[in-house]
Amino acid sequence: MKLKKDLKEVGYDLIDSPVRNHNVLQLWLKSPSGEAELYYDHIDHALQSSQVLEVVENDALSINYEQDLEYKFNIGLTFLDGLLTSLGLGNLGLSSLFEGGKRVSISYGDSKTLDIPIGLLENYLSDADFRHPNKALKKNANRDRILVITGVIMAKDLKVVLETNTSIDKGLETSITNALDGKIDYRKVSTKKLEMKSEGNSPFPVAVRASRIDWDRGEFKKLKQITDNRNIF
């Protein structure tokens, strides 16, 4: 899990949800016992401020194929099905082709990181007012249930390595070719190892950095980072 460890060190969480619509400056709602859910697609839809926010590209942070994630075989295939669906490649039904396996490794390439300087965001929030009178927004703000995404790592490329219990013979290769339907390139590394790649996709989010907005009676107090391997997203 090298990628997970590397991301934790810089305050990012891997996205675990099959829905991948995460973007910088989104507001998400998170109650103590509930799942995080998208609240506002952009902070400007909820708040107004005289301070201007500008998302920048962080050239110092990127990910590549050398940083992979290893899963137990069936868990990995389940995650992969959701990921491929979110990329518009559909559920390819790969789990039906193999009689178990050792592991699934997933890695990403051609990445870029978009983030917002925290100081700018604090200036924005210190000056901010609700865009419209909104009792529900005030209630959620005062209960510290609102999260703001402050960084997103995007990628265009995906690599998957399957280590199976099934020998990949000609018949199985034909089934794999039919299942992938030209959407993903693959090669047989060995009799029981398969490598798949999907490159040049539209950028998709891989990991996020987020903070909880601490309010007191509608007034901004501070930001508290909440991503560091907590699996909120």
User: Nearest-CA neighbor of 195 among 106, 86, 109, 76?
Assistant: 106
Which pLDDT band holds residue 166 (cuts at 50, 70, 90)?
Answer: confident
Please report which residue ranges of 143-213 form alpha helices under DSSP H: 170-180
CB 18 within 8 A of CB 87: no
| Residue 45: band (very low, low, confident or very high) from pLDDT cuts 50, 70, 90 | very high
Helix (H) or strand (E) holding 112: strand 101-115
The pLDDT score that the predictor gives to residue 1 is 58
**Other beta carbons less than 10 A from residue 211's beta carbon:** 21
Asked whether residue 230 carries a pLDDT value surpassing 80, the answer given is no
Residue 211 pairs in a beta bridge with: 148, 225
What is this structure's pTM? 0.90
Across all residues in the chain, what is the average pLDDT? Answer: 90
